[in-house]
Structure 1
Amino acid sequence: MIEAIIFDLGDVFLNLNHQASVDAFKKLGLNAWTDDLKAAAILFETGKIDELQFMETIQKHLPNANLVEIREAWNAIIGDFPLERLEFLEKLQNKYDIFLLSNTNPTHIDKFEHRVGLTFAREFYAHFNKIYFSYEIKERKPDAAVFNLILKQNNLSPKKTLFVDDTLEHIEAAKALGINTWQILVGQDDVTNLFDKKIV
Structure 2
Amino acid sequence: MPIDAVIFDIGNVLIEWQPENFYDRVIGPERRKMFFDAVPLHEEHQKVDEGIALRDVVFPLADRYPEWATEIRMWHDNWNDLAAPSIPHSVRLLEALRTNGVTVFTLTNFGWDNFPLSQEAFPFLKGFDREYVSGRLKLIKPDPAIYAHVEQDCGLAPQTLLFADDRLENIEAAAARGWQTHHFTSPEGWAARLVDEGLLTPEQAI
Give 1 or 2: higher helix fraction: 2
What is the deviation of 1:62? 2.7
Deviates more, 1:3-12 or 1:38-47: 38-47
Percent of matched pairs sharing the same residue? 24
- Structure 1 runs not aligned, ≥5 long: none
What is the deviation of 1:15? 2.4
What is the deviation of 1:8? 0.4
TM-score, with structure 2 as normaliser: 0.75
Work out whether 1:89 is the aligned partner of 2:94: yes
- Structure 2 runs not aligned, ≥5 long: 200-206
Work out whether 1:162 is the aligned partner of 2:143: no
- Structure 2 residue corresponding to 1:109, chosen from 115, 122, 130: 115
What is the deviation of 1:108? 4.4
The count of corresponding residues between Structure 1 and Structure 2 is 191
Quote the Cα distance in structure 2 between the aligned partners of 1:125 and 1:147. 21
Quote the Cα distance in structure 1 between the aligned partners of 2:118 and 2:155. 30
What is the deviation of 1:97? 2.2
Paired residue for 1:78?
Answer: 83
What is the deviation of 1:89? 2.4
CA RMSD of aligned residues (A): 3.1
Matching residue's letter, 2:59: E
What is the deviation of 1:68? 4.0
What is the deviation of 1:81? 1.8
Quote the Cα distance in structure 2 between the aligned partners of 1:197 and 1:183. 15
Paired residue for 2:49?
Answer: 45
What is the deviation of 1:95? 4.0
Matching residue's letter, 1:6: I
Matching residue's letter, 1:96: V
Quote the Cα distance in structure 2 between the aligned partners of 1:136 and 1:95. 27
Paired residue for 1:58?
Answer: 61
Contact 2:6–2:104 (CA under 8 A) maintained in structure 1? yes
Contact 1:8–1:164 (CA under 8 A) maintained in structure 2? yes
Quote the Cα distance in structure 2 between the aligned partners of 1:177 and 1:171. 10
Q: Secondary structure of 2:37's partner?
A: coil
Paired residue for 2:174?
Answer: 174
Quote the Cα distance in structure 1 between the aligned partners of 2:21 and 2:117. 15
Paired residue for 1:13?
Answer: 14
Quote the Cα distance in structure 2 between the aligned partners of 1:106 and 1:169. 22
